[in-house]
Amino acid sequence: MTAVTVYNVIKALPQEEMPKLYKLLGINITTEAQPLKTVKKTKPIADTVAEEFLRANVFRSKKVK
């Protein structure tokens, strides 16, 4: 028996048989499905703040030693 054959048999199982299959395989359904993490979105910075940052950090004159 190949993995493709097993996959096709499992896909053909009715939904009420899936919990039984998981139990036989030793898979706990409740621990497999984890809730999605929410991503905290940052607020975009204003143009003036971005310009000030660039002037202060990128376009500043280089110090000569």
d(CA 34, CA 22) in angstroms, rounded, equals: 17
d(CA 10, CA 60) in angstroms, rounded, equals: 65
**Which pLDDT score is estimated for 2?**
93
**Band (63; pLDDT cuts 50, 70, 90):** low
**Which pLDDT score is estimated for 65?**
57
**Band (13; pLDDT cuts 50, 70, 90):** very high
**Which pLDDT score is estimated for 42?**
86
**Which pLDDT score is estimated for 60?**
78
**Which pLDDT score is estimated for 27?**
85
d(CA 31, CA 34) in angstroms, rounded, equals: 7
Distance, C-alpha 53 to centroid of its chain: 31
